[in-house]
Amino acid sequence: MAYHDPHAECLKENHRSDRQPLRYLVDIKAVEELSDVSMAHLADVTDRYAFRTNDYYLSLIDWSDPADPIRRLIIPCHDELDEFGMLDASDEAANTKMQGLQHKYRDTVLLLVTDQCGGFCRYCFRKRLFLPGSREANRRVKPGLEYIRRHPEITDVLLTGGDPLTLPTTRLAQILDTLARIPHVHTIRIGSKLPAFNPYRILEDGGLQQILASHSSRAGSHLYLMCHFDHPRELTADAVRALRLLGRLGVTCVNQCPIIAGVNDDATVLAELFQSCTDAGCPQYYVFQCRPTAGNRPFKVPLVKAFSLFNRARSRLSGLSRRARYCLSHSSGKIEVVGIDDERVYARYQRARNPADEGRMLVLQRDDEATWLDELKAAE
């Protein structure tokens, strides 16, 4: 069954004042640039894994290039149907305390406040949220907020989903206002790819601007936007304008992204991405190994190769452009790859589900074909 977009109405307000409203597409057959043969070929893919984009983002694609990276990021490919991985590759179910709330690390919780995004990245590690019948996200966040209030050890809240910036402004304001009244919450992060998918949501919604400005200036807490740019071509003039506006509003923006085959698995592209993000006031924070999520076989890059690309990109940069860390979001914790030599991979737990593992080093046998931690054996 094809994906039905239940929240499309709340996004219709996000328009460009000098042009037509953005048109959101949830049916691959509505992409006029695709041939009838391509549409027919991809219909069974979108029946399994949802499709969503808009005409702004489609305009970034060079349709004369079948291997265009933006196309690969948003347009399905038949290889997604290859048997591979699990829908919940990082075992987020084990961290779920109630619908819409994950508590993996002592001081940090994730609130999944929506199952909607400005577009569906083909490699999404939470694509299970967009399947019919999924009930992981919870737009009724009151129970989650009460959980946070009852746990004074929680100082850091990440609003995610889905993309929280697709929520109506009034709804987002209610969530932020409630969190601001919880004294032990010092950091609020919003995970969003909307600056890439639809920068006009930020540029033209005065109410959203006011809300973000008021919360970024509150004493005792700080507001971060965890952006998600994968390729330098996503940093259009309007996207950069949106990032700079966020900076003027007092919001700290950083970027994080995975290395994806056919999108950014190139040292030159990564270096340009890191530099462009820094220039726009959104320096790179993390680079991730692509998770072995179902449907992600065509997007995986071997860990050794990906880490080499990351280091080659950083070597061309200076200052904040090279501060990013390379990590795996593993079921056991956030694991930073700190080095690879001819025989071994060296990694360290930045965060760990088991507090006893915090900071623990891992020394693993090098395997140039491995794409995930579980494929590496402990070094003897």
Pair type for strands 333-340 and 325-330: antiparallel
Domain ranges of the chain: 8-76, 92-318
CA-to-CA distance for 327 and 353, rounded, in angstroms?
15
Q: Backbone phi, then psi, for 99, in 5-degree steps?
A: -55, 125
- The per-residue pLDDT for 18 is 62
Maximum CA extent, the chain: 64
CA-to-CA distance for 364 and 271, rounded, in angstroms?
28
Homologous superfamily of domain range 92-318: Aldolase class I (3.20.20.70)
Q: pTM above the 0.75 mark?
A: yes
- The per-residue pLDDT for 256 is 98
- The per-residue pLDDT for 19 is 60
- The per-residue pLDDT for 220 is 75
CA-to-CA distance for 351 and 354, rounded, in angstroms?
9
375, 361 contact by CB (below 8 A): no
Q: What is the pLDDT of residues 240-251, one digit of tens each?
A: 999 999 999 999
- The per-residue pLDDT for 36 is 84
Question: Which letter, b or e, does each residue of 114-152 get, where b requires 16 or more Cβ atoms within 10 Å of its Cβ?
Answer: bbbbbbbbbbbbbbbbbeeeeebbbeebeebbebbbebe
In sequence order, what are the beta bridge partners of 372?
Answer: none
Amino acid identity, position 124: C
Strands, E assignment, 212-301: 222-227, 252-259, 284-289
Nearest alpha-carbon partner for 346 in 328, 366, 370, 321: 366
Distance of CA 198 to the CA centre of its chain: 14
- The per-residue pLDDT for 3 is 36
**Residue pLDDT tens, the chain, 380 long:** 333 343 443 444 444 456 678 999 999 999 999 988 888 889 999 999 999 999 999 999 999 999 999 999 999 999 999 999 999 999 999 999 999 999 999 999 999 999 999 999 999 999 999 998 888 998 899 999 999 999 999 999 999 999 999 999 999 999 999 999 999 999 999 999 999 999 999 999 999 999 999 999 886 789 999 999 999 999 999 999 999 999 999 999 999 999 999 999 999 999 999 999 999 999 999 999 999 999 999 999 999 999 999 999 999 999 888 899 999 999 999 999 999 999 999 999 999 999 999 999 999 999 999 999 999 999 98
Nearest alpha-carbon partner for 137 in 108, 105, 102: 102
Q: What is the pLDDT of residues 245-296, one digit of tens each?
A: 999 999 999 999 999 999 999 999 999 999 999 999 999 999 999 999 999 9
> Does the CA dihedral 50-52-58-60 come out positive or negative?
negative
CA-to-CA distance for 139 and 159, rounded, in angstroms?
11
- The per-residue pLDDT for 99 is 96
Pair type for strands 187-192 and 222-227: parallel
